[in-house]
Chains A and B, each alone.
Chain A
């Protein structure tokens, strides 16, 4: 009997759980469903939205829809395309404007938004919404792609954005977030916009597994956006890779910055950022891998800098930053700076240009490595002198400087350079 007691309790608990689980599903009416198709009773999406009650599911069948901007003000609405229906803006209007919570937009082909001088026209604009979901859409030739302002807890995933904005004209951003928080941006591909992904006054948001390529300005751009993280993204052949500006507490992890090349191009531009982490990234074939201006307490660890013009350019107004356990391989210049003062620490990195030795075989070079070449310093002062790059004169200069450092920063030195390439990604 005593034994039985807990079993009865368990049974009651199970029963209660079952009632709780099944109860709401039974109590809730089946969600209203509406179908839009070019030859059905509802022929425009706007018409379906007018009829929709909160929580309704609207299915859009294949076809091309040309209608005035679709405005969604009903909360909980799902707008789902089956078989890739097309919404065409004919180059003169915004396509979808959301002003309600928990709206989902999925599986649509959105085309031809058209440039505007006076408004940030977008394929999908979301304002003051909580919990919106925008996924698996295709955006072709949009001015702004997905524009979200003053919103919270949205998910933007698996979208493909392609624009054709040329270098001389105005251009809109691919995915733009403004005054928002707790957003997730993942698995999107963005090409041909101004900035692929742009954050302005955004907090506590993440950007993961996106491809941002061939954009006019940056692959990803943060302005005044604290406590965000971006991880495992690819930034390739943008005007410059990523810019993080006026921002605190950013985690930058496992990204690839590839071939961001040009006179003003960086893999990663840091300007006025604080207390951030850059780890496990690859900087490959960029004009400058990391450019740091006025940035403080940034930890740069476990990254690979390969075949860049400059691996890292750290201006002397950047302080208390740490470069440790990174690979610097085949860069024309590993590190450069603009002053004899160096308030930053370099420790335990692997430098392919290191020519020292390791007599005690502890894996650490016995001679400290000075990554700033005198010549790099001269170029910083006088850019045209780069013409001397491969000359014997410069090699002699560098050799002399290595023996008796006179001009390059005395303290910018890696006292424990690694003899071996660190086991990081390529």
Chain B
């Protein structure tokens, strides 16, 4: 009897211990699993947690989306959860499901797609869109945009025109400045 309850306790502990959790990103040390850049800006970091608890870190929401998009074939990982930095609380990771995304305006994310995540419980998308001059987007839409951009970048020839009249992928929606 004693043994059984002990076993039960041990098993519970084991199961609890196994519940995959995000790990804090070590800014300035960790590399982005998608673009290889050193992760430096705590407003934009992101993380993927696998069902076995392994974490992949990213320097931006667009790299997380890119990784998820390409997460196929032999290198596929089993995704447990996706985490993004809350722009208003740099360094704090929130679940993708609790976030909304703003693109453009004054935002300057590391991979130049200029997307940031915000906690849906802390602020309203419209307010943030107004204050940043960006537009609200959803996670699924973001993934599509990243897919299109990455497909585009592997095909376009190198020469893009500069400050005025740039085209295609290089046309980042910016306003104001």
Contacts and interface: CB of A to CB of B under 8 A. Distances in A.
A171 interface: yes
Interface stretch (B6-14, B31-39, B46-54, B140-148): B31-39
B28 A216 contact: yes
A217 B112 contact: no
Contacts of B111: 223
Given A150-B163, A179-B162, A181-B162, A117 B43 contact: yes
Contacts of A201: 112, 160, 162, 166, 170
A181 B163 contact: yes
Contacts of B159: 226, 248
Contacts of A269: 36-37
Interface residues of A, number: 47
Interface string A8-43: 000000000000000000000000000000000000
A293 interface: yes
Contacts of B108: 120
Contacts of B42: 168-170
A262 B29 CA distance: 7
Interface in A155-177: 167-171
Interface string B31-72: 100011110111100000000000000000000000000000
Contacts of A181: 162-163
B124 interface: no
Contact of B28 (A120, A127, A149, A167): A167
B5 interface: no
Instruction: Tell which of A179, A274, A291 has the most Cβ of chain B within 10 Å.
Output: A179
Contacts of B41: 170-171, 194
B87 interface: yes
Specify which of B26, B37, B41 lies most central, judged by the most chain A CB atoms within 10 Å of its CB.
B37
A263 B162 contact: no
B158 interface: yes
Contacts of B112: 200-201, 223-224
Contacts of B135: none
B110 to A, nearest CB: 9
Given A150-B163, A170-B90, A263 B31 contact: yes
A240 B38 contact: yes
B95 interface: no
Contacts of A380: none
A402 interface: no
A264 B28 CA distance: 9
A55 B87 CA distance: 42
A204 B111 CA distance: 21
Nearest to A125: B177
Contacts of A239: 28-29, 38, 40
Contacts of B121: none
Contacts of A217: 28, 37-38, 40
Interface in A165-210: 167-171, 179-181, 194-195, 200-201, 203
Contacts of B30: 263-264
Contact of A243 (B37, B91, B170): B37
Contacts of A195: 40
B28 A226 contact: no
Interface string B151-167: 00100001110110010
B65 to A, nearest CB: 17
B104 to A, nearest CB: 14
Contacts of B37: 217, 243, 245, 269
Interface string A272-313: 101100000000000000010100000000000000000000
Nearest to B158: A248
B117 to A, nearest CB: 14
Most buried by A among B30, B31, B159, B166: B31
Among A118, A151, A180, A245, the one with the most B-chain Cβ atoms within 10 Å of its Cβ is A118
A264 B35 contact: no
Contacts of A421: none
B80 to A, nearest CB: 22
Contact of A170 (B36, B43, B162): B43
A120 B106 CA distance: 8
A263 B36 contact: no
A119 interface: yes
Contacts of B158: 226, 247-249, 274-275
A167 B29 contact: yes
Contacts of B19: none
A149 B172 CA distance: 14
Contacts of B90: 117, 169-170
A311 B31 CA distance: 19
B163 A118 contact: no
A118 B36 contact: no
A246 interface: yes
B154 to A, nearest CB: 8
Closest 6 CB pairs of A and B: A264-B31, A248-B158, A217-B40, A167-B28, A150-B163, A239-B38
18 contacts: A117-B87, A118-B106, A119-B106, A168-B42, A170-B41, A170-B90, A201-B162, A201-B170, A217-B28, A217-B37, A217-B38, A217-B40, A245-B37, A246-B153, A248-B159, A249-B158, A263-B29, A291-B36
